[in-house]
């Protein structure tokens, strides 16, 4: 059962990562368009700042679950690596504890984001400058909620599997 959950969650995480990469490409296109339109035609893209702000949140949260899945979340793990080499059982225990705390934080983010999503969905609240550029808030809130849920699932998978499975670099000392 765990293998099926891991396979499904992994597929969704990879798809979300691909969507995040697509957002990066779109962001590059928007910024380049703004630069060219501003420089050559004196007609900047008026929503460029809002699109960049919107995109940055989407990129981070769309790519987060896959980063967790492959064990590439940025952190300082020098002590954990040393502990895994010198005292493997203690290192695995600490690694699982870190994953448990991380899963807890992701659940807290999801729980706090769901009511915000519902409020933004119902109120149709938006960000930006009316008459210039506006976009609804609810897609950002939904992506954060779903990403936090999926990230919590991946942390739970890391806890359920032997800790070294997702952190081979801790054993090798690299």
What is the per-residue pLDDT across 78-100, written as a single tens digit (0 to 9) for each? 888 888 899 999 988 998 999 99
| Res 67 pLDDT > 90 | yes
Per-residue pLDDT at 166 exceeds 60: no
Residues spanned by the domain of 54: 2-172
**For tokens 């059982």, what's the residue?**
89
Tell me how far apart the alpha carbons of residues 76 and 91 are, in angstroms, rounded to a whole number.
14
Q: Which of 68-77, 119-128, 137-146 has the highest mean pLDDT?
A: 137-146
Number of domains in the chain: 1
- The candidate with the shortest Cα–Cα distance to 75, out of 61, 55, 95, is 95
Which runs of E-coded beta strand occur in the chain?
126-129, 133-136
Cα separation, 98 vs 79, in Å, equals 13
Q: With cut-offs at 50, 70 and 90, classify the pLDDT of residue 162.
A: low
Please tell me the least confidently modeled range out of 9-23, 53-67, 75-89: 75-89
What pTM was estimated for this model as a whole?
0.84
Mean pLDDT across the stretch 136-156?
A: 96
Q: Do residues 115 and 147 touch, judged by C-beta distance below 8 A?
A: no
Q: What is the dihedral of CA 58, 59, 64, 66, to 10 degrees?
A: 120
């Amino acid at each position: 059962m765990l293998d099926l959950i891991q396979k499904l969650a992994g597929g969704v995480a990879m798809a979300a990562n691909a969507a995040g990469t697509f957002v990066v490409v779109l962001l590059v296109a928007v910024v380049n368009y703004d630069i060219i339109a501003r420089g050559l035609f004196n007609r900047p893209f008026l929503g460029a700042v809002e699109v960049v702000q919107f995109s940055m949140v989407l990129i981070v949260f769309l790519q987060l679950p896959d980063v967790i899945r492959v064990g590439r979340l940025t952190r300082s793990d020098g002590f954990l690596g040393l502990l895994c080499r010198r005292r493997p059982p203690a290192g695995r225990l600490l690694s699982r504890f870190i994953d448990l705390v991380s899963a807890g934080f992701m659940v807290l983010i999801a729980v706090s984001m769901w009511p915000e999503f519902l409020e933004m969905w119902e109120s149709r609240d938006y960000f930006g400058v009316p008459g210039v550029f506006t976009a609804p808030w609810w897609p950002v809130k939904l992506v954060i909620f779903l990403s936090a849920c999926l990230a919590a699932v991946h942390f739970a998978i890391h806890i359920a599997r032997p800790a070294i499975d997702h952190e081979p670099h801790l054993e090798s000392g690299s």
